[in-house]
């Protein structure tokens, strides 16, 4: 019998029982891919991360494999933020000599090798900022009716009356998301997704999931408020904080001139998870200008919630027949 320890944390929040839960297995050597998927299904969280030695120690400090209950992802935001905060707490990343400041390391993901920065205060990790993949923002799509059907909203609820206006668009920093502007916070709250209609729309536009967003954020210091929905293939219907979607949204907001850069960087907060009772704050920093976004970074905090062990009994797995 092999025993593997894990820690569960809440990500994109500074308090427990908020943000997005994440399971991290800090030493996963010896766990095969099939078992990783089974463990992720057993944990039944948005994502579970398995930390492994890198393919080339000269290029990366650790390799991260990220699984939802249904599939492996090439990259995801809250798993990276939560994993590196937990690894830094375990001493995998040492703080600066003064105990304060930032340390940048390289991580290996299925998407490739990307930098991640851990910020320390008094010797303790307090924030992680990840650089995401190359931003790619598509052209506006005429999909109001289909988006209204998927979100179970009126077509009048879809769109943005602002100037400049946020269009319906597919955007990516490693994973393709369908960004859908919603006119009001009340409409965002009313969404009850039609998962049966999602595959056709996602296949047609080339998206992984849908990320409805509104600029109606009265009473919040966030720049926008969003929700994330996926079909059954992902194993997660709604996610309380999605860094891999927040990055494409951040790129889109700058690309279309809605978020303005100061000294070359646009900084703002994306709010998510409010309607799930798990409020999350995702910090975005985007380099570039309208039509020319170059770098997207997503950051936030995380807090540990529980620790435990999982026993992998040798013999038949649950998906095998006697």
What residues act catalytically?
47
3-state secondary structure of 53: coil
Q: Name residue, tokens 């993949």.
A: 133
Non-local CB neighbours of 39 within 8 Å, separated by 6+ positions: 25, 31, 48, 50, 67, 310
Which sign, positive or negative, has the C-alpha torsion 189, 195, 196, 198?
A: positive
Measure the CA–CA gap between 302 and 262, rounded to whole angstroms.
27
Give the integer Cα–Cα distance in Å for 269 and 246: 10
Give 262's contacts (C-beta < 8 A, 6+ positions apart).
Answer: none
CA distance readout (Å), 14 to 95, 234, 251, 282: 20, 27, 25, 12
Q: In the block, which residue shows the tokens 């998301």?
A: 177
> Tokens 């940048």 label which residue?
104
Q: Quick one: how many helices (H) and strands (E) in the chain? A: 6, 19
The answer to whether 83 touches 56, Cβ cutoff 8 Å, is no
Q: DSSP letter at 260?
A: P
Show the DSSP H helices in 138-292 as ranges: 144-151, 185-190, 198-205, 243-255
d(CA 173, CA 296): 8
Quote the CA–CA distance of 273 and 266 in Å, as a whole number: 23
- Strand, coil or helix: 217: coil
What is the torsion angle, in degrees rounded to the nearest 10, for the CA atoms of residue 104, residue 12, residue 245 and residue 291?
A: -60
């Amino acid at each position: 019998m092999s025993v593997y320890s894990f820690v569960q944390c809440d990500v994109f929040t500074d308090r427990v029982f908020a943000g997005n839960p994440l399971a991290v297995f800090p030493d996963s050597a010896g766990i095969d891919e099939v078992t990783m998927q089974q463990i992720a299904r057993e944990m039944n969280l948005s994502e579970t991360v398995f930390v492994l030695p890198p393919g080339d120690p000269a290029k990366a400090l650790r390799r991260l494999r990220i699984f939802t209950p249904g599939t492996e992802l090439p990259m995801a935001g809250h798993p990276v933020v939560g994993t590196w905060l937990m690894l830094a707490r375990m001493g995998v990343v040492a703080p600066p000599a003064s105990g304060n400041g930032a340390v940048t390391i390289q991580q290996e993901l299925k998407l490739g090798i990307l930098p991640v920065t851990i910020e320390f205060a008094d010797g303790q990790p307090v924030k992680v900022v990840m650089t995401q993949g190359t931003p790619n923002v598509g052209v506006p799509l005429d999909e109001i009716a289909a988006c209204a059907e998927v979100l179970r909203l009126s077509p009048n609820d879809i769109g943005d009356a602002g100037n400049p206006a946020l269009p319906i668009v597919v955007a990516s920093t490693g994973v393709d998301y369908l960004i859908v502007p919603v006119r009001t916070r009340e409409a965002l709250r009313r969404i009850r997704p039609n998962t049966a209609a999602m595959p056709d729309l996602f296949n047609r536009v080339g998206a992984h999931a849908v990320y409805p967003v509104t600029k109606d954020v009265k009473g919040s210091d966030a720049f926008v408020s969003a929700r994330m929905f996926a079909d059954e293939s992902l194993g997660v219907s709604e996610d309380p904080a999605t860094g891999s979607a927040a990055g494409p949204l951040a790129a889109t907001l700058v690309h279309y001139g809605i978020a303005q850069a100061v000294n070359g960087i646009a900084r703002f907060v994306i709010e998510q998870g409010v309607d799930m009772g798990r409020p999350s704050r995702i910090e975005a920093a985007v380099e570039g200008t309208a039509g020319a976004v170059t770098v997207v970074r997503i950051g936030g905090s995380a807090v540990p919630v529980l620790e435990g062990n999982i026993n992998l009994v040798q013999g038949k797995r649950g998906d095998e027949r006697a």
